[in-house]
Amino acid sequence: MKTFKTTIISAACVTSALLLAACSNDDMPNGKTTTQINAAENIEFSLSFSDYNAEDTVNHATRAAMDAELAKPRIVPMGDMMYAEVSLQRDTTKATPKEKAAATRALTDGTYTIYAYQGTTLKGTLTGIVSSNVFTPTSSNQEIGLEPGTYTFVCCNDKVNVSGETWTIDRANLENARIGIAAGQVITATPRKQKVAFEMKYVGSRAKIQLVADGFPLQNITSTFTSTSNIAASVNFNPATQTYTNASTEALAVTPDYGSYDSQVKNSQYVYFFPGTAGSQLKLTLTGGTAYRMPVAGRTVLFPALALMAANGSYTLQMALHYNYIYLYSDGTTGQYTDAAHSGKTPIGIVVSRSKRLAVALKNAAEGVLRQQFGSPVAATLWSASALQNTQSLTTMSSNIAAHIADFKGEDYTWTSTYSTDGKVKGNEAADYPAFYAAPHYDPGVPVTGSNVGKWFLPTLGEWNLLSRNLNLEIVDLPLITTYTSFTNPPRPGAYPSGLCPVDYGFRRASGNVISAFASTSGQTDVQIPLLSSEYDASNYIAPIAYSRRDYSFYYIQAMLPAHLINKRNSENAYASYYNDATTYIVRPFVHY
């Protein structure tokens, strides 16, 4: 259990303190009994201050099960090409030692009241102050005469408004209001050292709002956080029964401040709630900004109707925004993750262009690691055989990048001899054109029953450029670079946010392979290169490079780079000296449907 600091309230430290009295038939002149316990010598009260989400009587297995249910996301459609997963999660933020020390000073100072109950009958109270961890009684009656028996002691700080046996807490005091309950305390007549311990917990719960996107920055997000109906503004607490009732209600209206923007943004301040508030009573409305380059103003989500927020609980209200990619299914139909029919279908690709009826496979048809700093290389699939690696193979060979961007004839290059200089159908030539052969022989892993699904083929740079623009959300065409100037800050196709790979999340969602590189070892730089059918000259083809680098402080850089010249023999790419660890070549087929 996490605690800040324990304050000992010892009656030995004060002139008069709590007095516990046992039963006796012999009344003393002052109304006390002959078996009276001297509280100054035998009673000690201790207060410990629990942090949010401190462990209680719930065991770890049960807590894990509760947290898993709490964090289970609910899907909320948010218009064309976007949806959200919303969840109410237990906050795992830990306070630093410095923050804990400051919080302890702030929370322990003030006035505390202790009530002693036998059943629901009040037997006495004691009020005092805590300053610098020392308790000093201030109430006029410094004694509570108790008969031996079982009692419940209830303690609160001065953020709880005590008026007789009615305790009231206002929303303005929720951040620091604490109540501690010591139930089932057996007080005996035996004059031995007896202790009553209070675990002072927060009355309220708190929550932060977190917005998350898939590998793409959320920009200039503004929002309002409101309640769908009036929620508790103040509550009454009955110390005899330890129950809360609403005293007043009001509408919640908060404008979160998200601070800096990235693929994850979090409201910098907590919002406080009374126990019993449900996530379904809360609504987040986006009022400005963009996600995946799309405006988000007017998109609204309600948080799940999960278990009610508990006292002393800290939560994160998370809204994960996802780009809603369109999948090609094995039966030839297309649909999105949020469609009711999605769960009953099997994706085999992601739609790259609806107008061209073009999709990219979920997995690679072939891959190999040419160079590997850690482990052994795996033979990479070649663009063409050794004897052909300095020979023009396509009649459309060009050093004009614009011509390649406008070229969508990958299927023809793979399956016909129309553009072959040697008259061969490259998709049938495993020895002469390994990459062209690997693509059409791709196995998606499930039977393809849709008659409209064509043959897999090796895409062109123009078709990969459609993936870059439509799936990776670039707003510029892939440029060709022939120089490389920065190792730690590689060139990207356009201005930020460019060079990102949100489509990797779309592949993962359908159990596919990502197209980006991933440097898993500190100090490692990796690249991944798709083999494309766009021939630049007799020795090179053109392909974009996925780059990743992890330095020794584990700062991670990942980028989808512009097009490069790649040597047909795959022994090195034109700028391989900058990529000093693993270089992976992949064949990722495309298909028309």
Which amino acid, residue 168? T
Q: How far is CA 269 from the centre of its chain?
A: 17
Q: Using a CB cutoff of 8 Å and minimum separation of 24, what contacts does 373-382 make?
A: 373/521, 373/524, 373/580, 373/581, 373/582, 374/521, 374/524, 374/581, 374/582, 380/570, 380/584, 380/585, 381/434, 381/435, 381/438, 381/531, 381/570, 381/585, 381/587, 382/434, 382/435, 382/568, 382/569, 382/570
* Distances from the Cα of 262 to the Cα of 11, 322, 325, 499, angstroms: 55, 14, 21, 14
Read out DSSP for 305-356?
A: --SPPPTT-EEEEEEEEEE-PEEEETTS-EEETTSTTGGGS-EEEEEEETTT
Least reliable range by pLDDT among 114-128, 287-301, 327-341: 114-128
Between CA 454 and CA 590 the distance in angstroms is: 10
Per residue in 388-432, pLDDT (tens digit) is 989 999 999 999 999 999 999 999 999 999 999 999 999 999 999
Give residue 573's pLDDT.
47
Per residue in 273-322, pLDDT (tens digit) is 998 888 889 999 999 999 999 999 999 998 876 557 888 999 988 999 99
| Residues 384, 424 contacting (CB under 8 angstroms) | no
61-90+204-323 matches 37-53+96-202 in CATH topology: yes
Between CA 358 and CA 452 the distance in angstroms is: 12
Report the run of H or E that residue 545 belongs to, with start and end.
Answer: strand 540-550
- Residue 576 above 50 pLDDT? no
Helix (H, G, I), strand (E, B) or coil at 104: helix
Per residue in 143-160, pLDDT (tens digit) is 677 788 899 999 999 999
Give residue 280's pLDDT.
85
Per residue in 444-469, pLDDT (tens digit) is 999 999 999 999 999 999 999 999 99
Helices (H), 52-183: 60-70, 97-108
| Residues 47, 155 contacting (CB under 8 angstroms) | yes
Whether the CA torsion 104, 107, 112, 117 is positive or negative: it is negative
Between CA 369 and CA 389 the distance in angstroms is: 19
Between CA 448 and CA 329 the distance in angstroms is: 8
More confident residue, 264 or 117: 117
41 CB-contact burial (10 Å; exposed 0-12 / middle 13-18 / buried 19+): exposed
Which amino acid, residue 18? L
Q: Where exactly are the structural domains of the chain?
A: 37-53+96-202, 61-90+204-323, 350-592
State yes or no: cis peptide before 29, omega within 30 of 0. Answer: no
Least reliable range by pLDDT among 60-74, 112-126, 476-490, 528-542: 60-74
Helix (H, G, I), strand (E, B) or coil at 467: helix
CATH number given to 37-53+96-202 = 2.60.40.2620
Of 2.40.160, 2.60.40, 3.40.50, 3.30.450, the CATH number of 61-90+204-323 is 2.60.40
| Residues 190, 23 contacting (CB under 8 angstroms) | no
Q: What percent of the chain has pLDDT over 70?
A: 76
Helices (H), 324-460: 401-405, 410-415, 434-438
How do beta strands 540-550 and 205-213 pair?
A: unpaired
Instruction: Determine if residue 57 is left, alpha or beta; phi over 0 gives left, psi from -120 to 50 gives alpha, anything else beta.
Output: alpha
How do beta strands 166-170 and 149-157 pair?
A: unpaired
Report the run of H or E that residue 286 belongs to, with start and end.
Answer: strand 282-291
403-434: b (≥16 Cβ within 10 Å) or e: ebbebbbbbbbbbeeebbeeeebbbebeebbb
- For the chain, the average pLDDT equals 83
Instruction: Mention every residue, 6+ apart, whose C-beta is less than 8 A from residue 125.
Output: 113, 114, 115, 116, 139, 141, 144
* Residue 80: Cβ within 10 Å count: 8
Give residue 98's pLDDT.
55
460-495: b (≥16 Cβ within 10 Å) or e: bbbbbbbbbbbbbbbeebbebbeebeeeeebbbbee
Between CA 464 and CA 247 the distance in angstroms is: 62
Per residue in 43-98, pLDDT (tens digit) is 677 788 888 887 544 444 444 545 555 557 889 988 889 999 998 888 876 555 55
The residue count for the chain: 593
Between CA 441 and CA 425 the distance in angstroms is: 14
Between CA 128 and CA 9 the distance in angstroms is: 10
DSSP 214: S
Span 13-35, average pLDDT: 42
Give residue 135's pLDDT.
62
Give residue 444's pLDDT.
98
Give rounded-to-5 percent helix, strand, coil for the chain: 15, 40, 50
